[in-house]
Structure 1
Amino acid sequence: MQIFLLHFAGGNCYSFDFLRKQMDKDMKFLPLELPGRGKRYRESLLADKPSAIKDYVAAIRRQRNKEAYLIYGHSMGATLGLSVVKELEVLGDPPIALIVSGNAGPGLKYHEGPKRYLMNDEDFLQELVKLGGVPQEFLESAELYEHFAPILRADFETLEKDEDFEAGTKIQAPIYAIMGDEEKLADRIDNWKNFTLGHFDKQVLPGNHFFIHQHAAAIAAIIKQCCMKYSSPNSIVRCSS
């Protein structure tokens, strides 16, 4: 079983290391990353959804084997994951399920006021503090900020430039949504149900937007549960009927 992981804004292929040790040995753990960060830091950043989706689809296609697979995305990775799954379904190589976290689904208003990628540095930093998950050394180091700010701004631009991109998108694959109870719009988690023709499950765990770091075992259990539940070749058809 292959598990492809799509990172949050500002993340990279190391963003899911906290989860790796919780996974079974027979699950192939495949964290992906967009250009301009991590192992791909020499590549140009992307700042629009079609380019990011194309990049993720190409990366998955390169690494696919003949086994079943699923996709898990957190925050930005959840939003992009929906369209990635749709494209892979069109290509005839669908995942058995999409797991999403830190995100109540497309079409909702997550941020009031100016778009984050257009904010001045002071307001941008304050916004990052509100989101949580930002190391203190990042907030105190001008050098770290200068390095990571362009990555974060590009990712926020990807998310905020075309907020209606996913309107009308429906995938065949089941969706399992997870959120932290302190997250904005956690009470709207059922919104994800509108984007699948398959089965929908959900779970709300204690914590803020980066609750995932406190619940690695629970998230790994959900991944294992989805692998077992939907690994049958006909499982998506059955849950869509």
Structure 2
Amino acid sequence: MTTNPWFPFGIRKDRSRPLLFCFHYAGGSSTIFRHWVALRSTVDIVPVELPGRGTRMAEPHPQRFDELIEALLAALAPEVEGREFCLFGHSMGAAIAFDAACRLEREYGFRTAKLIVAGRHAPHRPDPSPFSSDMDDEALVRELQRLGGTPPDILENEELLRYLLPMIRSDYRLHESFVYRRQLLMAPIVAHSGTGDRDASAEEMRHWSEVTNAGFAIRSFEGNHFFVQRLGDAYLNELLRLAAMPGNGIREAYFS
């Protein structure tokens, strides 16, 4: 099993098994996917750890999106060479996964079998969130309350918030630095939306079909912006089923 700070749970050396790289939402870390790794499956799940959190807490937090992707690709490219792989991203992670997939195609000639995105508007669409990183802490707390993924006891703990808010704000700033450059992915895209997610509704996420030259499919799941975590193994099993499907004819395969 290979070890790399970007992949704290390791990557198996069995190159016959497909890989599913997972990118988390703003304020998260690779640990939100920890229990996914232990599940028996024909797909190897690889949570990605960004600098400045989790096992990489001592490292500087990335400030610019392009710089993050550049460093990520240097770690990712050797692992996907000669292997089948998919990229999955939730919220901010969807933007990271999309940009990484496009650059792997363009700069390395490595094509993901499919890109799976959850809970984020398409890259060429305006951000519907009312919050921006230059707003104060009270506005950030209101944003976390609105999204519904942070337990109330955490939002009411001033000491804990003093630790968490700077990291979350930094992720928002990182996310805001993403620039769409009219890239079109040559691989299929599957979009997942939460029925209660106002910022990334099914109608909004259908626009992901406009940034791929291959197949597209979309599915809604019960829940708010954090339906991925709330649904637990039910969502994970669906994600693994999807990741194991052939990329060609994804729409027909996914809805069969």
Same fold at TM > 0.5: yes
2:76 paired with 1:60? yes
**Aligned equivalents of 2:153 and 2:57: distance in 1?**
21
**Aligned equivalents of 1:221 and 1:127: distance in 2?**
29
Specify the code of the residue in structure 2 equivalent to 1:28: D
Shift of 1:48: 1.8
Say which SS state the counterpart of residue 67 (structure 1) adopts: coil
- More deviation in 131-140 or 196-205? 131-140
2:92 paired with 1:76? yes
Give the match for residue 48 of structure 1: 64
**Aligned equivalents of 1:108 and 1:19: distance in 2?**
32
Structure 1 residues 170 and 66, CA gap change in structure 2 (3 angstroms): same
**Aligned equivalents of 1:132 and 1:56: distance in 2?**
29
Shift of 1:225: 2.6
Q: Describe the superposition over 1:116-151 as per-residue Cα deviations: whole angstroms up to 9, x where unpaired.
A: 211111121111111111123321222321222121
Give the match for residue 110 of structure 1: 128
**Aligned equivalents of 1:116 and 1:138: distance in 2?**
21
Specify the code of the residue in structure 2 equivalent to 1:136: P
What runs of 5+ residues in structure 2 fail to find an aligned partner?
1-17
Shift of 1:89: 0.6
**Aligned equivalents of 1:156 and 1:120: distance in 2?**
13
2:147 paired with 1:134? no
**Aligned equivalents of 2:57 and 2:64: distance in 1?**
18
Q: Describe the superposition over 1:11-63 as per-residue Cα deviations: whole angstroms up to 9, x where unpaired.
A: 11112235445x54332111002110000000000122102222332332253
Specify the code of the residue in structure 2 equivalent to 1:148: L
Alignment of 1:1-241 (within 5 A): 1-17=18-34, 19-20=36-37, 23-64=39-80, 66-90=82-106, 91-106=108-123, 107-112=125-130, 115-162=131-178, 165-184=179-198, 185-186=200-201, 187-215=203-231, 216-230=233-247, 235=248
Q: Which has the higher contact order (CA 8 A, sep 6+)?
A: 1
Q: Describe the superposition over 1:196-224 as per-residue Cα deviations: whole angstroms up to 9, x where unpaired.
A: 01100110111100011233323432432
Specify the code of the residue in structure 2 equivalent to 1:12: S
TM-score, normalising length: structure 1: 0.86
What runs of 5+ residues in structure 1 fail to find an aligned partner?
none
Specify the code of the residue in structure 2 equivalent to 1:218: Y
Structure 1 residues 96 and 203, CA gap change in structure 2 (3 angstroms): same
Aligned residues: 228
Q: Is the 8 A contact 2:29 2:53 kept in 1?
A: yes
Q: Is the 8 A contact 1:182 1:209 kept in 2?
A: yes
RMSD: 2.1
TM-score, normalising length: structure 2: 0.82
Structure 1 stretches of 4+ with a deviation exceeding 4 A read: none
